[in-house]
Chain A
Amino acid sequence: MNKIYEDLSSRFTLSDYHQQRDNLAFVTVEKAQLVSAITYMRDYLKFTHLVLMTSVDWLEQGKFQLTYLLHNYELHVNFGLKVMLDRDNAVMDTIHHLWGHARVYQRELHEMFGIDFPGSPGVNEPMILESWQGPPPMRRDFDTKKYSEETFDHRPRQHVEPEDYLRQNLYPED
């Protein structure tokens, strides 16, 4: 793992290296260097498999964290590359030319977090949220309850508060 890290750090600007297990480590890469770094890992370090792409909403810091998890079949190790994006300008270069299935992840990230990947095929099409009207639902400032109250019809409740009901039946005049 350390070897991989050293190799990478001699070529790219890295930070926050963290080895979680013997076969799993993460490092943060500059946004502009991500595609180069990931291409280098695929073509020279034999991380041929893109396991997944995902995102974390760091609302308080105003950032989205994108994570690309790669796998090396010879060494059987996973390596995660992280990129921090500004929440206000959540745009990232696409990597669908490296792995075709990345476009599915990118389409999903666009739908759920509102992160755009210009040039990724079909990135603007909804995956599951057909005719969605609200903001991307996985953003932490998305208010699920408010959205559901505004968007959907509601069954009228029949609920009676026990405390009120007791008063009404046992001591209505007090």
Chain B
Amino acid sequence: MNLKDVLSPLYVWKRAFEKPYTIKTLKEPRPGADRYRGFHQNDLDKCIGCGSCAEICQNVSIDMIPVSETKEGDSGLRPKIDYGRCCWCALCVDICPSGSLTMSNAYTWVEEGLDKDVRETFCFTPGVDKKPWDNEEKGYRRLEGYELSILERVKMEELAPAERVNSFIEMVKGFSKEQAKKEADRCIECGICTATCPGHMDIPGYIRAIREDDIEAGIKILYATNPLPGVCGRICTRRCEEVCSLSLRGEAVSIRWLKRYLTDSVEAEKYRDLLHDEVVPSGKKVAIIGAGPGGLSAAYYLLRMGHSVEIFEQNEAAGGMLRYGIPEYRLPYGSLDKDIDFIISLGAKVHLNTKVGRDVNFDDIYKDFDAIFAGIGLSESFKIGVEGEDLPNVTSGLNILKLVTLGQDPQLGDDVVVIGGGNVAMDAARTARHLGAKAKVLYRRRLEDMPADPVEVREAIEEDVEFITQGIPLKIEQAPDGKLDLIWGKAEMVDDGSGKRPSPVLIEGSREVMRVSKVIAAIGQGAEYGWLEGETTKQVKLGKWKIEADRWGRTDDQKIYIGGDMFNKTADAISAIADGHRSARSIDSYLAGEEYPKDRF
């Protein structure tokens, strides 16, 4: 035994009086590294409940649970995370389209009472269940520039402005197969869009079909909710894209162009085989008044349900506003006819040039048919309400667009002004440019207040349409050279504090004169009710603005349904198509003697 062996116990005892090296992990936890992947944080206001985190989680540790109110673009669900399963890989943070989900650097959590339900043990909903790390600045965030999603669209090729103003050739060229598959690849299939689409189309479904290159399946998905997909693939107001979760940090998926790609990939002759369906005739007859998108949609689904359908259309061709209100460069007649011809080929009898109330009586229709769907649209242009409005060269945007569709010269002269800021105003002004005239748009509010599609406004600007905003028309006078003098005044935007958008107020004494060859009013349209004259329409109630009807479009007379622009608030093609589909299901139930529509189609 040597000396060291004798002394070493004393060395050990010396240690007893030193500060211990013990780390008190729970009482004084060591902070995690700055980018440590610890417990989650979720910014509830930014989160839209798209469920991408739950979808990507490889350990199934995330459940979407109801937390807040469901609205368009926000499911109201929020992720709840189970730390018994979480492996802290942070894929959920990396995929999060809104960027709301992050990770703090906190990594200690003491759970008391392990007799709890196993579903609640070490589970919490970040942002909802308050935790000490909720406001922790440090922790894992997605690295700048590191993206799992593709935030940029595949660029759509279109004709250059200088090229397109010389003709009415369709300006958007459409996707090739490679482009479409690439664009379809961007969709993360969260399905937030389907609720916002008025027709509730299965958008992730048909995008998946494109990705898998199964065009036939894609077409079937389209026709399940929309019998005018070629039209919507071109001119849809695409509110789906506004809520696309990718649009939160990048560009929305080009849903509209993908739909167009599907329909352009199949020839018209193939639709019949593709969408073949055994139909059992019901022996019931349904009359449809107006061959616009609402009427055509109702016709398609009613035919599919086995009812016979007759359509009464006042114009010389079917299509309604799609044909007479949308210029050819946005929706070529060939594409429109492809969709319409297929619907008619299923057996609809169409009476063209037949206006109800003029050529045929509503009463007769009422007696001859088992049900009626009316979608006559909004065809009466509102008046500007100024002196001189009845002068010869003052007309409406709808009138110009219709004349161009009919192949007639709208006699615009060389310099037109369009009054209004909606899509009809844009179409009229751009049509004037395509016909070689100069075009100005006079709008009461600011550019950003325009109800027109921003893309159309941009395209109009590209085509050298001049925008005069905050201008109120005052008077129209005949000018000595045969032209017109539009007298207008500048307006200022006044916010009355009521929370509504600011309204334009004429600046006292402001007076400007604009000399033009044509004044085109495009400030909105109203419905016309001449067709409703007769004995049998007494039960149909006219409300303040429109005919009263339930959500199925059913008026107080069980036999009469309405839909389309004259009924819904949004007044666009897809809403009319949705109305037609809804009414068709309700009519089907009504004809079968059932109270409520059952899901037959």
Contacts and interface: CB of A to CB of B under 8 A. Distances in A.
Interface of B: 49-51, 54, 60, 62-66, 70-72, 75-77, 80, 82, 84, 118-119, 190-192, 194-195, 200, 204, 551, 578, 582, 597
A161 interface: yes
Interface in A118-174: 155-163, 165-167, 169-171, 173-174
Contacts of B65: 158-160
A63 to B, nearest CB: 29
Contacts of A171: 195, 200
B75 A158 contact: no
A156 B119 contact: yes
10 contacts: A155-B84, A159-B64, A160-B66, A160-B77, A162-B51, A163-B192, A167-B195, A169-B70, A170-B71, A173-B597
B246 to A, nearest CB: 15
A157 B60 contact: yes
B119 A162 contact: no
Contacts of A163: 75, 190-192, 194-195, 204
A159 B54 contact: yes
Contacts of B190: 162-163
Contacts of B71: 170
Nearest to A167: B195
A155 B121 CA distance: 11
A158 B50 contact: no
A160 B119 CA distance: 15
Given A167-B195, A171-B195, A162 B64 contact: yes
A166 B54 contact: no
B200 A165 contact: no
Contacts of B80: 158
A162 B63 contact: no
Interface of A: 155-163, 165-167, 169-171, 173-174
Contacts of A161: 51, 64, 191
Nearest to B72: A170
B580 to A, nearest CB: 13
Given A155-B84, A165-B66, A165-B70, A174 B119 contact: no
Contact of B63 (A159, A166, A167): A159
Contacts of B70: 165-166, 169-170
B63 A158 contact: yes
Q: Which 9 A-B pairs have CB atoms at the shortest separation, nearest pair first?
A: A163-B191, A166-B195, A169-B70, A162-B75, A159-B63, A162-B51, A158-B63, A170-B195, A165-B75
A174 B191 contact: no
With a 10 A CB-CB cut-off, give which of A156, A159, A173, A174 has the most chain B CB atoms.
A174
A169 B551 contact: no
Contact of B192 (A159, A166, A174): A166
B118 A174 contact: no
A28 B51 CA distance: 50
Contacts of A167: 194-195, 200
A153 to B, nearest CB: 9
A167 B225 CA distance: 15
A156 B194 CA distance: 28
B191 A166 contact: yes
A157 B123 CA distance: 12
A158 B65 CA distance: 7
Nearest to B586: A173
Contact of B77 (A155, A165, A170, A173): A165
Contacts of B84: 155
Nearest to B60: A157
With a 10 A CB-CB cut-off, give which of B72, B75, B77 has the most chain A CB atoms.
B75
Contacts of B597: 173
A122 to B, nearest CB: 32
A155 B118 contact: yes
Contacts of A159: 54, 62-65
B190 to A, nearest CB: 6
Contacts of B66: 160, 165
A154 to B, nearest CB: 9
A162 B204 CA distance: 13
Nearest to A157: B63
A8 B192 CA distance: 66
B196 to A, nearest CB: 9
Nearest to A159: B63
Contacts of B75: 162-163, 165-166
B209 to A, nearest CB: 16
B192 A162 contact: yes
Contacts of B118: 155
Contacts of B200: 167, 171, 174
Given A162-B190, A165-B77, A173 B72 contact: no
A170 B194 CA distance: 11
A157 to B, nearest CB: 6
A173 B551 contact: yes
Contacts of A155: 82, 84, 118-119
A170 B70 CA distance: 7
With a 10 A CB-CB cut-off, give which of B62, B194, B204 has the most chain A CB atoms.
B194
Given A158-B63, A158-B119, A174-B200, 13 more contacts: A156-B119, A158-B65, A159-B63, A160-B77, A161-B191, A162-B51, A162-B64, A162-B75, A162-B77, A165-B75, A167-B194, A167-B195, A173-B597
A167 B203 CA distance: 14
With a 10 A CB-CB cut-off, give which of B76, B190, B582, B597 has the most chain A CB atoms.
B76
A158 B77 CA distance: 11
A173 B72 CA distance: 16
Contacts of A160: 63-66, 77
